[in-house]
Structure 1
Amino acid sequence: MNTEISGVVLQLALLIALSYPLGRYIAKVYKGEKTPLDFMAPVERWIYRFSGINPHEEMNWKQFLRALLTVNLFWFLWGMILLVVQGVLPLNPDGNPGQTPDQAFNTCISFLVNCNLQHYSGETGLTYFTQLFVIMLFQFITAACGMAALAGVFRAMAAKTTRTIGNFWVYLVKSTTRILMPLSLLVGILLILNGTPMTFDGKQTLTTLEGTEQTISQGPTAAIVPIKQLGTNGGGYFGVNSAHPLENPNAFTNILECWSILIIPMAMVFALGFYLKRRKLAWSIFGVMLFAYVVGIAVSVDQEMGGSKQIAAMEIRQDMGSMEGKEIRIGSAASAMWGMTTTVTSNGSVNSMHDSQTPLSGMLQMLNMQINCWFGGVGVGFMNYYAFIIIAVFISGLMVGRTPEFLGKKIEAREMKIATMVVLMHPLIILVGTALASHLAAQNPELAGAWLNNPSFHGFSEMLYEYTSCAANNGSGFEGLSDNTPFWNITCGIVLILGRYFPIVGQVAIAGLLASKKYIPESAGTLKTDTATFALMTFAVIVIVAALAFFPAQALGPIADYLSK
């Protein structure tokens, strides 16, 4: 077997094998059961006392959301101030200046919503201070917010009849102390052992073999890379992200970082089964997500290892596949797998240039984000899938003449309206943003020339990808797009806000509303939602919605690009 393919298979096996026990552990953390990390309890109690939090206070879904949105507003103000004035703050040995207000707005919102879209180059756009006290801090907080929201949904789904869904602050703290920090520490140690720098020194000046001098950025990289991956954040310490040899030194770190992107989203699906004591339901959901993920990997690996038809026609060596925009030390197959992994989640980190990959790979990367529920970001991935479950239950119930019910609760008009709005908001903000940018580019050729690195179909794909990435809170890009302008900074920031908070509010509201309803015991007439048939129904609903919403735009971009080759 090709060694690149062996690496892909090995990584898949490790993900599936380790996500199951991690899911069991996460369920125990959120249920308050005994775990090996209970020694963190005194630290958590100190945090509660310092913050004036009563960990025993129960919250209804409105109080839960109020707490979530309040803490996010506070950190937005914190981040905006520090990014604008970072030039005069300490830990700035390279003398990097502060960001402009529109760029700071985009950067702050991007990291606050777990997207990490970067309209700046990592090592030159930020100081060590803001890398640590804005970027890394937000990567923990925003990941923990998504996980805490899902923990509240778990609580609502598990209860027979209740008006409370737990305590947001407790879930937030435990997500950080019991899950994100221990895993980040482990991954960070492995990265340091493999050559990732961990220092506060400034740039090094070295003499190359040709006799010229070169400056090399360094910094506390090993502290930031683990949480960028484990929290499905994705923002690179260096401008080229994990294609940089100091951020991703070798084949082992490439597997470790790519594994880190997906391990918690996969584990959260199994955590659902353990929390609800419905493992069959979890396996059916996991099966749908895994199928979509593996199909995407198979197609993309084939495309990237096959290479460009134009280069093949020129009789240039093709045994390495399509290597433009890729690192030779990583290879085409590992780059293709990373591209699929980072877009089925809300991670957005890259180890190759997505803009340089073949049209079908670019199409699948966009489609992963447009569907936005194949594992997804930590916490919010399943929550997006949850909205589709509600719609699938309602449609299935009507088809077979049964009252739509999910986990003993009736799905009625109010829940359906919220789920429908959540599902349709995603394509709305992507397509409206792309239409606006396309109109402006068409009306002003000079503007289009300043924005786009490529004309025609691929140029359209660059703009479509940008808004897709923002709406999915992903952060990767077709980086032929020159996006550090007031237009892109502000419009992308608006899409980022809507793409993050509108779904979370809607999904938590659905869970809270269903939790307060009277529990109906399952009977012979209950629609089974843990079967292969219902899993197929949910898959069909997801694909149909995505096809109806995005096929025309995909046809104008990557599909036309592919057919024109």
Structure 2
Amino acid sequence: MSSVLADVLVVIALVGALVLVHRPFGDYMAAVYQSPKHLRVERWIYRAVGANPDAGMRWPAYLRGVLAFSAVGVLFLYGMQRVQDKLPLSLGFRPIPADQAFDTAASFVSNTNWQSYSGETAMGHVTQTMGLAVQNFVSAAVGIAVAVTLIRGFARSRTGDLGNFWVDLVRGTVRILIPVSVVAAVILIACGAIQNFGDIHTVTTLTGDKQAISPGAVASQEAIKDLGTNGGGFFNANSAHPFENPDGFSNLLEIFLLLVIPLSLPRTFGKMVGNVRQGYAIVGAMAAIWFLAVIAVTWIEYAHPGTAAQLAGGAMEGKETRFGEGNSALFAVSTTMTSTGAVDAAHDSFSGLSGGVLLLGMMLGEIAPGGVGSGLYGMLIMAIVAVFIAGLMVGRTPEYLGKKIGGREIKLAACFILVTPALVLVGTALAMALGKGRSSMTNIGAHGFSEVLYAYTSASGNNGSAFAGFAADTVYHNTMLGLCMLLGRFLPMVFVLALAGSLARQAPIPVTAGTLRTEKPLFTGLLVGAILIITGLTFFPALALGPLAEGLA
């Protein structure tokens, strides 16, 4: 079987699996967040944190819950890293330096999982499991909770009640993320991923050298890093390491885990607003952009003249030989478009143009399909903008799902859209202007600029992947990237929750003959066009200086 045919079959299998679970999983998540009952274990958690699960929250109170919980997470994870040599099962590792500990804490709490360290040589078992893995769960649950709150803003009328943050957080963790992660971890263990709390082993290689092999609870962390679109690898090689990603089936499973929640949440949206066709329009826009990117990167990587094109069929530099160009391209597109950051190939080694496509995927706001929760609320913001543009074109007051899109709503949507570009472009400009920023470039010219642009795009968009040639472990970049991660995660949430509160207070507007049918394919096309145009106008100059200049040279 040719490698191209095998790659096509992998994509077909992936799409088939996602289609198969879209409806039942989306319906299940809607039932989780609409259920009036609390599980016993959930009530124990509410009592432990002193929360009243039956109290509703207006958007400012909901926002305070999000920010307070996340701030505690940053402080807890920072402190754990700073004293990890005093913790059990530390494997003899020293405390993480202050700037790197801040960067890592900001990274995992913001669902970015950017890593300026090598996990197997820096983090002990307790830090990995009680620190990093716990944040993989709860940071993902926070993202879903904010998305559900925006859905309630559309579904509810004449009220300020948007639900309860603590209930949404606990239910997302207990009823969705933990059960699916347990099943996925068991499958990964069956494939060959490791799961233990052993000591570091020293082995003798075939050349007679000594090599240290780190053990750990890898399968369990791998499952939630993909399912929660987190991305931080237990090992420095991330999902290219055979202990994290043993074979072709586990590679396909990990890509499935990256996409399953983001592509099922539109069904949840449709169920909760009482019109599942609206969910189909949203998932259609997500899938169209993702599929076009997969085709583009795969074609470019096969067409690029690698160092052994006649033997390998394409550019194999930086690719895991077990997976090849096709699977590497599929994983790379899926991880950069879902704010995950996990990799099974070195993105720094992708050709200039395909690296540009990966950058563009993050610059879109990672909404195709995006991170858990963040992808859906980002796409709904873009839908509001598309409706507003359509209203201007035909001279009608824009409406979406029975809610008027007025000045307040469009200002909040515009502020949401502007956060990431501001952080990316300002952060990149400062890094290029200052010697401390440029010193981390290990390449010159367009590719060196792309390394810096990729780093600040990845951090500000809460992705976490990197062009690995970029030396990020400096005081300057640990601090600046950490700030970009926190601002890129929580500033947009302020505008999303404020928008949800504004929509929930409105009375529903009746559908008329002039109402834009937002469940139709025409609106899906309009939505895709608006996303590409807005992003293109914003980032084209930066892309032209980096990946486009490199690819066309």
Q: TM-score, normalised by structure 1?
A: 0.95
> 1:312-391 residue pairs with structure 2 within 5 A?
317-372=310-365, 373-391=367-385
The alpha carbon displacement at 1:100 in A equals: 1.1
Residue 519 of structure 1: which of 508, 529, 532 is its match? 508
Match of 2:44 among 43, 46, 68: 46
Q: CA deviation at 1:160?
A: 2.8
Using the alignment, how far apart are the partners of 1:330 and 1:179 within structure 2? 30
Contact kept, 8 Å, 1:366 with 1:468, in 2: the verdict is: yes
Deviation at 1:307, TM superposition (A): 3.4
After alignment, is 203-212 or 410-419 more displaced? 203-212
Secondary structure of 1:165 counterpart: coil
Answer whether contact 1:307 1:318 (CA < 8 A) is retained.
Answer: no
Q: Which amino acid aligns with 1:227?
A: I
2: CA distance, partners of 1:319 / 1:207: 31
Q: Deviations over 1:434-485 (max 9, x none)?
A: 11111124xx8xx74x411211000000000000001110000001000000
Shift of 1:541: 1.6
Corresponding residue of 2:412: 418
Matches within 5 A, 1:238-253: 238-253=235-250
Measured in 2, the distance between the counterparts of 1:495 and 1:342 equals: 19
Gap change, CA 1:216 and 1:320, over 3 Å in 2: farther
What is the alpha-carbon distance in structure 1 between the residues aligned to residue 499 and residue 82 of structure 2?
Answer: 38
Unaligned runs of 5+ in 2: none
Contact 1:384 1:503 in 2 (8 A): no
Q: Deviations over 1:413-437 (max 9, x none)?
A: 1111111111112111101111111
Partner of 1:163: 160
Q: Secondary structure at the match of 1:209?
A: coil
Shift of 1:4: 2.7
Cross-structure match for 1:82: 80
- CA deviation after TM superposition for structure 1 residue 8, in Å: 2.3
- Show CA shifts across 1:488-523 (max 9, x none): 011111111111111111011111111101222212
CA deviation map 1:223-275 (0-9, x unaligned): 21100000000000001100111111111111111111110111111111111
Partner letter of residue 401 of structure 1?
G
1:202 and 2:195 are equivalent in the alignment: no
Task: Indicate conservation of the 8 Å contact 2:146/2:496, yes or no.
Answer: no
Looking at structure 2, the residues matched to 153 and 427 of structure 1 have their Cα atoms a distance apart, in angstroms, of 22
Tell me how far apart the structure 1 counterparts of residues 158 and 178 of structure 2 sit (CA, whole Å): 34
474-483 vs 272-281, greater mean Cα deviation: 272-281
Give yes or no for contact 1:110–1:117 (8 Å, CA) kept in 2: yes
- Residue of 29, 47, 61 corresponding to 1:26: 29
- C-alpha contact 2:218 2:234 (8 A) present in aligned 1: yes
- Asked if 1:562 corresponds to 2:551, the answer is yes
**What pairs with 1:102-117 in structure 2 (closer than 5 Å)?**
102-117=99-114
Query: 2:274: which partner in 1?
Result: 277
**Correspondent of 2:64 among 55, 63, 66:** 66
What's the CA shift for 1:123?
1.0
Give me the whole-angstrom Cα distance separating, in 2, the residues matched to 1:223 and 1:397.
Answer: 48
Distance in 1 between the 2:425 and 2:305 partners?
Answer: 29
Tell me the percent identity. Answer: 41
Equivalent residue letter for 2:230: N
Deviation at 1:102, TM superposition (A): 0.8
1:8–1:333 contact (8 Å) kept in structure 2? no
Correspondence 1:125 to 2:114: no
Following TM superposition, by how much is the alpha carbon of 1:5 offset from its aligned partner in structure 2, in angstroms? 2.6
Letter in 2 for 1:365: L
SS in 2 for 1:214: strand
SS at match of 1:205: strand
Alignment of 1:466 onto 2:466:
no
Q: Tell me the number of residue pairs that the alignment of Structure 1 and Structure 2 aligns.
A: 549
In the TM superposition, residue 525 of structure 1 has moved relative to its aligned partner by: 2.6
TM-score by length of 2: 0.97
Structure 1 gap ranges (5+) = none
Matches within 5 A, 1:127-276: 127-276=124-273
- The structural deviation recorded for 1:212 is 3.5
Distance in 1 (alpha carbons) for counterparts of 2:104 and 2:205: 34
AA in 1 matched with 2:13: L
Paired with 2:425 and 2:209, the residues of 1 have a C-alpha distance of 48
Q: Given the alignment, which residue of 480, 489, 496 partners 1:500?
A: 489
In structure 1, the partner of 2:53 is: 55
Residue 486 of structure 1 is matched in structure 2 by 475
Distance 1:195 1:203 in 2: 18
Distance 1:541 1:5 in 2: 29
Matched, 1:15 2:13: no
Q: Which residue identity lines up with residue 468 of structure 1 in the other structure?
A: T
Let me know the Cα RMSD of the aligned residues.
1.5
CA distance in 2, matches of 1:522, 1:66: 35
What does residue 439 of structure 1 align with? 433
Residues in 2 aligned to 1:112 and 1:398: alpha-carbon distance in whole angstroms = 39
Given that 1:156 and 1:162 are in contact with CA atoms closer than 8 Å, whether structure 2 keeps it comes out as no
The answer for the alignment partner of 1:92 in structure 2 is: 90
1:408 aligns with 2:402: yes
Q: Report the AA paired with residue 508 of structure 2.
A: Y
CA contact (8 A) 2:154 2:273 kept: yes
Q: 1:293: which partner in 2? A: 290
- Given the alignment, which residue of 426, 433, 444 partners 1:455? 444
Structure-1 separation of matches of 2:433 and 2:19? 45
Shift of residue 406, structure 1, vs aligned partner: 1.5
Aligned counterparts of 1:17 and 1:307: Cα–Cα separation in 2:
35
**Aligned counterparts of 2:206 and 2:147: Cα–Cα separation in 1:** 53
Deviation at 1:306, TM superposition (A): 2.8
Deviation at 1:318, TM superposition (A): 4.2
Q: Which shows bigger deviation, 196-205 or 480-489?
A: 196-205
Separation in 1, partners of 2:48, 2:312: 60
> Equivalents in 2 of 1:435, 1:5: separation in Å?
40
- CA distance in structure 1 between the aligned counterparts of 2:22 and 2:338, rounded to whole angstroms: 15
CA contact (8 A) 1:266 1:375 kept: yes
Quote the residue 1:395 is aligned against. 389
Report the CA distance between 1:164 and its aligned residue.
0.5
Q: Given that residues 289 and 528 in structure 2 are in contact (C-alpha distance below 8 angstroms), is that contact kept between their aligned partners in structure 1?
A: no
What is the CA distance between 1:112 and its match in structure 2? Answer: 0.5
**d(CA) in 2 for partners of 1:4, 1:290:** 18
